[in-house]
Structure 1
């Protein structure tokens, strides 16, 4: 659904601007955003009148915005003017995160947004993420931490972001700069500036997606002593990136090697887009463990695993697969599909799985092998050796009874036959 985006000239009456996305066309240097009363800065953008290319990209970006600001009561004493005008409460606009519960992993035990929030504004109640807008400091750390993009803010939302970088790449911009809404520095001709609530909103997914589409990605903070601590978080992110991917980092700027002339088109599904970017950059992998980049691995205990298939059946990221060949069944795992939610760990009845971190690896790795068991009557494959042994142990079955090695259909026939024998003998 497209937003209505207002486009006005800087010689018009700007006091009429309300809290909807607005682009101000100016003859002056791009980026000098005016301070407008009662208007949140995330809704005001300034573009040179002659810069049609940047205007086109920004229009597409803001039309894709789907997050509205939250109005909350402001604590504090009311003035005499407030009483005269009938205003009984003070309010302020907050760019608080919105939760899309349909893709949220909290129902599987994920707590990454809660762990990332520095102000205690996020909690989980009955496996549902709750936001206290009054406590939110608009840093966007929760957005960066979420593995599925289920938390979003105006300016920090997968839907808005992918539209912006898709359009910017097609428009010929070769550099992308992340900055906050209070930055008024000038853009260069080949650089598209993406304004965020704070640069702390950028996680490994967005950075990697940008690197797969642009020659250079940089971060700017107009106030490095800002309490949101965005610079420190970006430095940690870049440090993690350089351990896993061969890129050149200088300060808050990262360059990829040359040779990526075409661009990727992203769809707005975080893990899917991230996987596409990782595949593009796989040739640059160092083979080192990707700490902080949300690339996960699992260890499965050969002694404990019963090959029950619960992990395969329940994984929300489809990171597991089961295959068989030449009488052997295998359980495979793909690291870049894993969301790190830990559901497989919690669901495993044998407690055989541990979640770890992985290098940049887009391959199906065999984790467990098992022998396929064929029915002794009809010859149809129906189970695995590990699972049969687990059934024996749980049921306390002594010896090695014949019926354990029969498929369900033949087992019913076998049971009926045995019952008939007993009845006839009576």
Structure 2
């Protein structure tokens, strides 16, 4: 649970003044944001000050000159002050403002992004942390052999059991994880901590938001993206992982655990504010899902092209030694001040509808995050298997007034194909999934795709099955089908004397 009373503190290195960023203006801006702000002399060369100055803070933001990596020395001093590694951010003001035509404006925007991200922190539990040793950055000496590398922490996801639909057959997180770190046992999703790389792909893939990874939660990423659009004044949005340094120039860096955790919704909302780029750390990538990311980018590009717009989407940018080289994007008008959710069932559809407006288009694409369940009413027996296996509720089943109804809501369909796998009549073509976007279908809302009469028990009045189901059974069993026993009596009454 997010604590509205949390203390957000910003430690500002006074040396940023020498880099052309007036400290007084930055302090005034932070005070307007309602956060505690302190200036520390020579904070960058003497970071041990963090251990004392950060005491009592729930969320800590250290505004440095050029240092951008949170893991290591800076994080260690923050931990000594009692700050969780998941509640710690580093904003290298001098680095990110290099090459920007309005550096103070960008510095203020970057601080606002960090503050709003901090306020969106959902809270963490000990099981969300996993320690690891940082790789040594220098040649090993004989003396160094007797010392350990610096200890840091990675966030790992935990499963919110009340939201998880694993009991109903949902395996989205299991199928998405590139390292087989998630397993299903008896309807419960289990995490193999030693296999998890904290890429966050499973968190963004879960339609029920049942996977929680504080520090990289969808709420935090959304808050930072929303702030980038509101304060960035039309600058480009660059999604970067912890292995990549925040870029300079007219780009606002939105931090994600991995490029694979950037959803289509996040990309489309970002495009409403200007240019978009996604950094890729190549061999250091935590997921190895490069093709998935490229497919999403291509889908967004194809969608905007279909709308007659000129998408400013930079192809996946490979990092060199932790840095990405981005072109100067065209500065756009100020982006939207608020955006919808970037993860969970319905998030991608909301972003697509927000972007397309009244346009009608149909776009089939392998990178599309949505789909349409195409039901053949002549083959469907309304057994309800598809509806009960659907992890998002896109397919629904209900009985009323002596009839059975199968319905479909396109905005909730993630094209997972679980409905097809569970359908006993799939070989007859009762249901299929079309991957793509059809804006007309998205706007229709929930609609009935199949219906049939319910046959009731002649003895007690309880439901037996749909007429189509009984007809199908008769066709399968032939002479073995007993109309009297199977079609006219419910399961409870079949054992009673006729």
TM-score by length of 1: 0.70
Q: 1:186 to 1:335 in 2, by over 3 A?
A: same
Following superposition of structure 1 onto structure 2, how do residues 318-357 of structure 1 map, counting pairs within 5 Å?
318-320=393-395, 331-340=406-415, 342=417, 344-345=419-420, 348=423, 350-351=425-426, 353-357=430-434
Aligned counterpart, 1:379: none
Contact preservation (8 Å) 1:106, 1:128 = yes
List alignment gaps of at least 5 residues for structure 2. 14-40, 77-84, 95-103, 136-141, 318-326, 457-462
Aligned counterpart, 2:284: 226
Find 1:162's aligned residue among 219, 222, 225.
Answer: 222
Q: 1:334 to 1:24 in 2, by over 3 A?
A: same
- Cα distance, 1:205 vs. partner? 3.6
Contact preservation (8 Å) 2:408, 2:449 = no
Aligned-partner Cα distance in 2 for 1:107–1:318: 14
- Cα distance, 1:123 vs. partner? 2.2
What do residues 366-398 of structure 1 show as CA deviations (whole Å, max 9, x unaligned)? 6745565899xxxxxx99653563576699666
SS at match of 1:235: helix
Following superposition of structure 1 onto structure 2, how do residues 6-405 of structure 1 map, counting pairs within 5 Å?
6-10=9-13, 11=41, 12=43, 13-15=46-48, 17=50, 21-26=59-64, 28=65, 32-33=68-69, 36-37=72-73, 39=75, 43-46=88-91, 48=93, 51-66=107-122, 68=124, 70-72=129-131, 92-171=152-231, 173-174=233-234, 175-188=236-249, 191-211=251-271, 213-221=272-280, 223-228=281-286, 229=288, 233-246=292-305, 248=311, 249-252=313-316, 262=336, 264-267=338-341, 270-282=344-356, 287-309=362-384, 311-312=386-387, 315-320=390-395, 331-340=406-415, 342=417, 344-345=419-420, 348=423, 350-351=425-426, 353-361=430-438, 362=442, 363=444, 368-370=449-451, 385-387=467-469, 389=471
Contact preservation (8 Å) 1:245, 1:286 = no
Contact preservation (8 Å) 2:395, 2:408 = yes
Q: 1:281 to 1:147 in 2, by over 3 A?
A: same
Contact preservation (8 Å) 1:179, 1:195 = yes
Contact preservation (8 Å) 2:173, 2:203 = yes
List alignment gaps of at least 5 residues for structure 1. 376-381, 413-418, 420-426
CA RMSD, 1 decimal: 4.9
- Cα distance, 1:178 vs. partner? 0.5
Aligned-partner Cα distance in 1 for 2:316–2:150: 39
Contact preservation (8 Å) 1:142, 1:151 = yes
How many residues align? The count is: 396
- Cα distance, 1:48 vs. partner? 3.8
- Cα distance, 1:24 vs. partner? 1.8
Aligned-partner Cα distance in 2 for 1:328–1:392: 20
SS at match of 2:436: coil
What do residues 214-237 of structure 1 show as CA deviations (whole Å, max 9, x unaligned)? 23221134x444343465543232
